[in-house]
Amino acid sequence: MGGDIGPDVVVPGAALALKRRPDLQFLFYGDSERVSALLDQYPMLKAVSKIHHTDVTVRMDDKPSQALRQGRWKSSMWKSIEAVKTNEAAACVSAGNTGALMAMARFCLRTMPGIDRPVIAAIWPTLRGESIVLDVGANVGADARQLVDSAVMGAAMAGAIFGQSRPTVGLLNVGVEEIKGIEEVRLAGRILKERPHPNLQYHGFVEGDDLGRGTVDVVVTEGFSGNIALKTAEGTARQISQYLRQAMSRTLLARLGYLLAKGAFDQLREKLDPRKVNGGVFLGLNGIVIKSHGGTDAEGFAAAIELGRAMVVNDLMAKIAFGLAHSLAAAPDFAAAEEQTGAA
């Protein structure tokens, strides 16, 4: 029921995903009449789907606390997350209210052992392919321990969707020298450097322009700057697209040139298509939950479903658990490292 459009995007999105990934099966939670009417248009999808009716819907502008109070146990959002908890579903995909989804997912699934709080990971298109950036907005601020956990979880996700056994990890900072930036990031850098990890290669600090360059496979942020970086990049891409449109329509020659090069422009548009990398992944929970952009269309929602599928098929949860188990084994060092930094 979530997102700006609701079932009219979610159901066609599922149909698209099914066409590309025939092993998918679906559980729909929401207004059974609306969903059922839509499913009638997609017989193949209908054959692999079950509808669970719910009366309560979390609205896009509900506060997380409000959503929890009114929607716990009974809303479509809650029920779809609960299906992951009870193993009826392998992953939950929602285009609904991010804050509410996070609050409910956290309440229902709980965080993994040793994890304080979940983070949101995004896939970032780069000149070298794709990177994972986390946290992009679940939290504002993180301590060194939480940053190291994010590094481990992000590396596990890179392992799951890019197939890398030891992805490179960088910490987003305002300079690459070890003395730069906020204390938590510096301390996390020291810990990652001094404590080799079987699942990741620590690269060091990276800066904002390393994101698009694809300098590392995984970029770890404390949440506040990660969200701002993500939205700044989206905004800059829109800005340049608009400049380009304006420039290409200004003169007759430019318009003619545009027509000739239309294939190239279409390629570019596809490369910049935000729907292709739609899907914020909640990491650190006992289950897979994907947040689709609320304003996306069926194509974008299908991408979020396929992302969820990829993480199930490639065993994201086991990869994270393995990574964290190794990280936790060395946990007592944190206190010592923090003391040292405090004294320095």
Q: Quote the CA–CA distance of 304 and 281 in Å, as a whole number.
A: 9
26/205 with CB nearer a copy of itself = 205
Find the shortest distance in angstroms from Cβ 258 to a copy of itself. Answer: 6
Strand partners, 119: 283
CB 95 within 8 A of CB 301: yes
2/308 with CB nearer a copy of itself = 2
3/308 with CB nearer a copy of itself = 3
114/294 with CB nearer a copy of itself = 294
Per DSSP bridges, beta strands 288-291 and 91-94 are: parallel
Find the shortest distance in angstroms from Cβ 129 to a copy of itself. Answer: 12
227/327 with CB nearer a copy of itself = 227
CB-side neighbour CA atoms (13 Å) of 244: 13
* Residues that bind a copy of itself in the complex, under the rule CB under 8 A: 63, 126-127, 137, 140-141, 172, 174, 179, 181-182, 207-213, 223-225, 227-240, 242-244, 247-248, 250-251, 253-254, 256-265, 267-268, 271-272
CB 305 within 8 A of CB 14: yes
Find the shortest distance in angstroms from Cβ 261 to a copy of itself. Answer: 3
256/330 with CB nearer a copy of itself = 256
Find the shortest distance in angstroms from Cβ 254 to a copy of itself. Answer: 4
For 49, the token pair is 């789907």
Scanning the chain, the segments in alpha helix (DSSP H) are 7-20, 32-39, 43-47, 64-71, 76-85, 98-109, 144-162, 183-194, 208-213, 224-250, 252-260, 262-272, 298-313, 316-329, 333-343
Q: Indicate the length of the chain as a whole number.
A: 344
Find the shortest distance in angstroms from Cβ 115 to a copy of itself. Answer: 21
Q: Quote the CA–CA distance of 144 and 183 in Å, as a whole number.
A: 8
Find the shortest distance in angstroms from Cβ 293 to a copy of itself. Answer: 13
Find the shortest distance in angstroms from Cβ 178 to a copy of itself. Answer: 12
Within 8 A by CB and 6+ apart from 134, the residues are 119, 120, 121, 122, 150, 153, 154, 157, 218, 219, 220, 221, 226, 283
37/256 with CB nearer a copy of itself = 256
